[in-house]
Amino acid sequence: MIPQPPYLPMTPEEAKTLGISAFDVILISGDAYVDHPSFGTAVIGRVLREAGYTVGIIAQPDWTHPNDFLRLGRPKLFFGISSGNVDSMVNAFTPNKKRRHTDAYSPGGKLKRPDRAVIVYANRVRSLFPGTPIVLGGIEASLRRFAHYDYWSDTVRGSILADAPADILVYGMGERQMTEIAARCAAGRSLREVRGTAVGISPAEWRETDQSGYAIIPGFPAVRDNPEAYAQAFALHTAEQDPVRGKAVVQPHPKTVIVQYPPAFPLSPAELDRVYELPYTRAAHPSYRDPVPALEPVRFSITTHRGCFGGCSFCALTHHQGRIIQSRTGTSIIAEAGRLARMRGFSGVIQDVGGPTANMYGLLCPQWETKGTCPDRRCSPDCPHLRTSHARQVGLLRELRQIPRVKRVFIASGIRFDLALADDAGYLEEVCAHHVSGHLKVAPEHIAAGVTELMNKPGRETFDRFRERYAEASRNAGKKQYILPYFMSGHPGCTVGDAIELAEYIRDNRLYTEQVQDFTPTPMTRSTCMYATGIDPATMERVHVPREREKQIQRALLQYRDPKNRRLVIEGLKAAGRADLIGTARQCLVEKGDDIRGTRDRR
């Protein structure tokens, strides 16, 4: 085992200090190098180092010149390429396609990554190092592994493997895959049939392959030109994203055939513990003069688990981390909290304890290990097999509060409120008494029945019951605390009438918030499929898709008190036949008349 340095080397000088003349693996990332377990490059780099491989990092290279790519030389095994923690197009543009002026994952927020970073980096590396294997990974590669709708070009693009000159693509979190790829490269073995990866093979090779046992989905030309084929392809590959029962998925492209092997098996608690127990410094590389903004909100946070079985239609976690919850042991989490408490700069506050959904920690279904997730139903509190008691997390939170120097422990990653209602261990009461910093983040997203059904979110009645329970628990704790709800506008299936229904709900329940998310189609989600095709892939039924002006109106309706939105609100209300909500009466959302500059505060 090779000792872990304080930071993985980024320069030849650092490599020389560690006695490294040539790296086994070089990782290239669109993010700055931050040695923290919330940053994928740091995790993969540390895991490979732990497995015995020397690793160098090229962070945010200047893609217009070869110098940065040549800095560390040619690796013995492969280059690993990622856009960073966020898809480069999501990172570069707002939901209304305006270019952002800052990048939270860059020192000083400076813009230093190209659009479609994975493709750009891979082409540069292939031209400079022909013959050296290239491994694609990270969220951008993972969620673009099949033909997909690209919101920023308003086109259906082929698999990223058809555009980037790579040997293999890793999807999912990647620790198992990357160590196996390294071992195979070191032994000179084939990179085919590695779980949790996808490759491109020639059409001729595919024709000669025994095709039984594969799930063959409509090819790129059909998906590009036919909405029904796109929806069918999405439904078919979604059905195979389970590590126990999933098949290999094949999608033909004109010059290559994409083969996705079944997902990697989940990490065991001991394996997951080891990933997060590696000696991360939780700081940006010391060569940076400016801070990396994305670090501060998570510097003193703890990841407790991976995976999410919520299955929200607009979220791609099912296709990346999977539905099976992988939880760390309480012992490991407590030990990590103890290390945080001893770190320089720790103020006594653990910023977050959670995962994709904080209160899924420790939840499980007995069938996951042997049968995988159910192919014909979604995991929910209604399922008799799902164990919904939050007792394990309640116990963990109590232990965390007892650690010396820890003053507060917050849950910032949000909770699934239908699961909290199904708990029998006093979780909500525990959270309200000790773990809310004034506001608790929850994401009902909408309250119109047809919209929440398409979103695969709990309905209005469930959210109302949660608000009542939360208010009661806060009163019993002697605290005045609020819910910070996240609502979404412009989702497929949502009409202007639905947006008005939500606006009235916000008005009546005093839930007005300026934090409204305008639906953005991102690769490999059910909602994006609906947006691109007008078809729900789960039912193959037609779905209304709000676009352009209507999307603007829906967002304005949810922020009806903002004076800038008054004209759009009036336009939407008139179009929906709801002029009764325009005026000075108490129930009105907006006042009328060109001389009125704003709306009334009717809280």
**Contact call for residues 372 and 246 (beta carbons, < 8 A):** yes
Which strand ranges, in their side-by-side order, compose the sheet holding 168-170? 55-59, 25-29, 78-82, 134-136, 168-170, 197-201, 257-260, 248-252, 214-216
Of 374, 298, 302, 359, residue with least CA distance to 325: 359
pLDDT tens column, 219-229: 999 999 999 99
The dihedrals phi and psi of 216, each to the nearest 5 degrees, come to -100, 120
pLDDT score at 412: 85
The model's pTM is 0.94
Of 499, 484, 416, residue with least CA distance to 450: 499
Q: Strand, helix or coil at 564?
A: helix
Residues 545-559 have a mean pLDDT of 95
Cα of 223 vs its chain's centroid, Å: 24
pLDDT surpasses 50 at 232: yes
d(CA 72, CA 15): 9
d(CA 68, CA 59): 9
Name residue 160's amino acid: I
User: Half-sphere exposure of residue 283, counting CA atoms within 13 Å on the CB side?
Assistant: 14
Helix 330-341 and helix 391-401, axial crossing angle in degrees, nearest 10:
30
d(CA 61, CA 113): 8
pLDDT score at 599: 47
Higher per-residue confidence, 95 vs 260: 260
Residues 274-283 have a mean pLDDT of 97
pLDDT score at 1: 63
Average pLDDT, the chain: 95
Of 114, 151, 128, 79, residue with least CA distance to 528: 151
Of 293, 314, 316, 298, residue with least CA distance to 100: 293
pLDDT tens column, 561-572: 999 999 999 999
pLDDT tens column, 66-124: 999 999 999 999 999 999 999 999 999 998 899 999 999 999 999 999 999 999 999 99
pLDDT tens column, 323-343: 999 999 999 999 999 999 999
Cα of 472 vs its chain's centroid, Å: 32
**Contact call for residues 135 and 178 (beta carbons, < 8 A):** yes
pLDDT score at 597: 45
pLDDT tens column, 123-175: 999 999 999 999 999 999 999 999 999 999 999 999 999 999 999 999 999 99
Sign of the Cα torsion 386, 391, 394, 400 reads negative
State the DSSP code for 598: S
Of 492, 508, 504, residue with least CA distance to 558: 504
Which H or E run includes 16? helix 12-17
In this prediction, residue 460 has a pLDDT band, given cuts at 50, 70 and 90, of very high
Name residue 409's amino acid: V
pLDDT surpasses 70 at 195: yes
In this prediction, residue 462 has a pLDDT band, given cuts at 50, 70 and 90, of very high
Residues 446-453 have a mean pLDDT of 96
Could you give the C-alpha distances from 22 to 9, 67, 77, 80, 459, in angstroms and in order?
12, 17, 10, 15, 57
pLDDT surpasses 80 at 600: no
In this prediction, residue 601 has a pLDDT band, given cuts at 50, 70 and 90, of very low
pLDDT score at 593: 64
492: its two tokens: 């497929």
d(CA 566, CA 107): 38
Residues 473-491 have a mean pLDDT of 93
141: its two tokens: 């590669």
pLDDT tens column, 402-427: 999 999 999 988 899 999 999 999 99
69-78, 149-158, 538-547, 589-598, range with the lowest pLDDT: 589-598
Contacts by residues 286-289 (CB-CB < 8 Å, ≥ 24 positions apart): 286/7, 287/10, 287/11, 288/32, 288/107, 289/107, 289/108
Q: What is the percent of the chain with per-residue pLDDT over 90, rounded to a whole number?
A: 92
pLDDT tens column, 364-378: 999 999 999 998 888
pLDDT score at 376: 85
Separation of first and last alpha carbons in the chain: 62
**Contact call for residues 32 and 25 (beta carbons, < 8 A):** no
Q: What is the percent of the chain with per-residue pLDDT over 70, rounded to a whole number?
A: 98
pLDDT score at 413: 82
**Contact call for residues 114 and 212 (beta carbons, < 8 A):** no
pLDDT score at 439: 86
Residues 46-72 have a mean pLDDT of 97
